[in-house]
Amino acid sequence: GRAVCVTGGEGKYEMTKELKRGCEVAVSTPGRLIDMVKAKGTNLRRVTMMVLDEADKMLEMGFEKQVSSILENVRPDRQTLMFSATFGKRVERVANRWLKNPVRIAVGRTGTSSEHVSQHVMVLPTPSSKMAWLKEMLPTLVALGRLLIFVSSRSDCESLASEIRNSPPASASSGGGGGG
């Protein structure tokens, strides 16, 4: 099936065109989806399944009203799947409001971290200290395997990607076997 990405940063006209062509899957941020519905770029009447991934994060970021607004525009007989790394009182309260006859499935023991994951916490007080640490540690981290870095916004993502791209190669910055 055809999938469409509906997020900020892309032109609304192009997104409206894509949505009007039809799709089986639309992946979207809450705010941009509401923009598309308000601009008549799409409607949600034919949506049969909603997937709310990282529900805890959406609530932390203040998207509760936006998600509620979206769900009010989707057909009532939809199936809704809600995923959350944590399932505190707020997530549970919202789940009971957003879902009909919810079934909760927990993988592993709830409230504990996996014994296969090693967690290290380091508090770095400023963005520049975070960047300095990352630049210093990047060769070591990359040597250990694939690396996934989470940031809190699109602009942070673009800035970080640019910083990494413009940094010297790992072998040059670590003084390792560049030969020459």
Q: What CA–CA distance (Å, rounded) separates 43 from 74?
A: 8
Confidence (pLDDT) at 179 = 43
CATH entry 3.40.50.300 includes domain 3-98? yes
Q: What CA–CA distance (Å, rounded) separates 177 from 52?
A: 46
Least confident of 13-17, 51-55, 118-122: 118-122
Q: pLDDT digits over 34-49, tens only?
A: 888 888 888 888 888 8
| pLDDT surpasses 80 at 13 | yes
| pLDDT-based confidence at residue 131 (cuts at 50, 70, 90) | confident
| pLDDT surpasses 60 at 158 | yes
Confidence (pLDDT) at 156 = 82
Rounded to the nearest integer, the mean pLDDT of the chain is: 81
Q: Most confidently modeled of 11-20, 59-68, 155-164?
A: 59-68
Q: Most confidently modeled of 19-23, 66-70, 107-111?
A: 66-70
Q: Where are the domains of the chain?
A: 3-98, 127-174
Q: What CA–CA distance (Å, rounded) separates 2 from 26?
A: 9
Q: What would the mean pLDDT of 108-134 be, rounded to a whole number?
A: 77
| pLDDT surpasses 80 at 130 | yes
Q: What CA–CA distance (Å, rounded) separates 70 from 30?
A: 8
| pLDDT-based confidence at residue 111 (cuts at 50, 70, 90) | low
Q: Which residue, 136, 133, 163, 138, is CA-closest to 148?
A: 138
